[in-house]
A and B are shown apart, each in its own frame.
Chain A
Amino acid sequence: MRFFKKTDIIIILVIIAASLVVWGAYRHATRKEPPRAEIYHYSQLVKIIDLDKGEDLVFSIAEEPDVVFHLYPDGSICFEESDCPDQICVHTGRISAPGQFAACLPNGITMKITTGDDADTPDLVIGGRQED
């Protein structure tokens, strides 16, 4: 008596093949992505900037043209200018690490650095509360 019938081997191969496909899809979906800056106007994602292109770029978003962002070639980005009264967004300085964020509350803008769901990056970054 043979231990495996031909159909058993086929079933096993099909299961293994299916597992490989699912595993491949999972790896693709969760692969480590380069960091990027997501800029939100209130809760609306209005711009995504890749930080790994070595670009030197000064730009605004259509929703708030008086707020100026600066992307540096080293992959950091900041609020360069803003018409807000407190300038907290400008004081936040350059950010580049996943989990970091900067915000301009008067203009309803938040900018956060994100990447793929990577266990090596912090979930959040804190530093300096924004009120007394």
Chain B
Amino acid sequence: MRLKTAILAIILVISLASCEARADQRYEAQFLQLFDTITQIIAYTGDRTEFEGQVDLIYKELEEYHKLYDIYNDYEGVANIKTINDNAGIAPVAVDPRIIGLLEFSRHVHETTGGNVNVAFGAVLRIWHEYRNAGIDDPENAKLPPMELLMEASLHTDIDRMIIDEEASTVFLADPEMSLDVGAVAKGYAVEQVALSAAKNGFSSGLISVGGNVRAVGIKPSGEYWNIGIQNPDTSSLNQNLHVVNLDGMSLVTSGNYRRYYTVNGVEYHHIIDPATLYPSVHFDSVTVLNADSGLADALSTALYIMPYEEGLALIESIPGTQALWIGHDGAIQYSPSFSDYIKK
């Protein structure tokens, strides 16, 4: 009799266990309103209501960062990066601590990358932005910015003239001609802060991606890693994913030249500008960086895109827990020594 009961119990437990394994369902959400790019959230939760609650919190927080880090638009009652730029050489601007946090992080990144990632580079980037937009609007009359104009602007890119008073929570640009452009760091930094906050709120198994800055939180309920494909820069190739990367609570960010560009006299000019030449960087088609911190991965992907391979490799080898993959114009791929540990076999 006892054996019989045990057999029945085992059958029941097996049946229940197979239901249990499917307890968390996969849900996805996407938005187009933030950071001028696509935001995607994927998560496993108990039900849709729980997922929507998590997404709501993440969206609202990302939206706050989006407004704070905007360099083009004003928002009522918000002092943002644009406000700081508008007050360059005029007065310190009292800002949210989240702006101070970003700018302190940016100063650190500037040092780490030997000046290749510089949020005070706005004066030069603004010129390229204007010429690119004009060239896209009127392709036949697309022009390159005159070097004299770029050289003049580059005189106003000294990050040491960004004066931060942490106690007073103010930022002052001491050079009236300088401006901040946080495009190389803001999305990654915001994603990192929001992921940390979401994890505290019970977001335990998910992906947050803002324009390709992917931050994984935990792993899947099945115990599997998150899988992120790295797109082939040759968009005409049939081999569309070069690799699939396993992520366990880490970040993966790619910088590439193949989406945002304009064409002058048949030559494509993309948007990542080398501070040394004041022209678009020429070394690679794309660079992908893996690091636990999405903000650092974002900044490093831009830095490595600008730096020659040997210098970039030396840089990431000096930062523990960082891996990278470089794709050259001929499709040749170079890896940091342990990148292959993360490639899905």
Interface residues of chain A, those whose CB is within 8 Å of chain B, are 3-4, 8, 11-12, 15-16, 18-19, 22-23, 26, 40, 42-43, 74, 76, 85-88, 91-97, 99-101, 103, 105, 108, 110, 112, 117, 119, 121-132
Closest to B270 in A: A128
Contact A123-B228, Cβ < 8 Å, known A3-B4, A131-B211: yes
| Residues B236 and A93 in contact, CB atoms below 8 Å apart | yes
**Is B271's CB under 8 angstroms from A132's CB?**
yes
Determine the residue in chain B with the shortest Cβ distance to A29: B22
Q: Given A124-B229, A129-B187, does the pair A8, B4 have CB atoms closer than 8 Å?
A: yes
Q: How far is the CB of A118 from chain B (nearest CB, A)?
A: 10
> Are A119 and B224 interface neighbours, CB within 8 A?
yes
A-B contact pairs, 8 of them (CB 8 A): A19-B11, A92-B235, A93-B258, A100-B241, A105-B36, A124-B229, A126-B253, A129-B37
Q: How far is the CA of A130 from the CA of B231 in the complex (A)?
A: 14
Top 5 closest pairs, chain A to chain B, by CB? A93-B235, A127-B231, A128-B256, A132-B183, A125-B229
Say whether chain A's binding surface is mostly helix, strand, loop, or mixed: loop
Interface status of B144 (Cβ within 8 A of chain A): no
Give bound CA distance, A124 to B231, whole Å: 10
- Is A126 touching B229 in the complex (CB atoms < 8 A)? yes
Interface residues of B in 130-164 (CB under 8 A from A): 133, 136-137
Are the C-beta atoms of A110 and B30 separated by less than 8 Å?
yes
Q: Is B129's CB within 8 Å of the partner chain A?
A: yes
- Distance of B70 from chain A, by nearest CB (Å): 11
Q: Which residues of B contact A40 (CB under 8 A)?
A: 30
Given contacts A97-B241, A132-B129, A132-B181, contact A22 B15 (CB under 8 A): yes
Cβ-based interface call for B40 (8 A): yes
Q: Mark B59-89, 1 if CB is under 8 A from A, else 0.
A: 0000000000000000000000000000000
Q: Which residue of A lies closest to B235 (CB)?
A: A93
* B181 adjacent to A85 (CB under 8 Å): no
Report chain A residues within 8 Å CB of B133: 85
Further 20 A-B residue pairs, CB within 8 A, beyond A22-B15, A126-B230: A8-B8, A76-B238, A85-B136, A88-B259, A91-B259, A100-B240, A103-B32, A119-B222, A123-B42, A124-B42, A124-B228, A127-B232, A128-B254, A128-B255, A128-B286, A129-B254, A130-B211, A130-B212, A131-B183, A132-B271
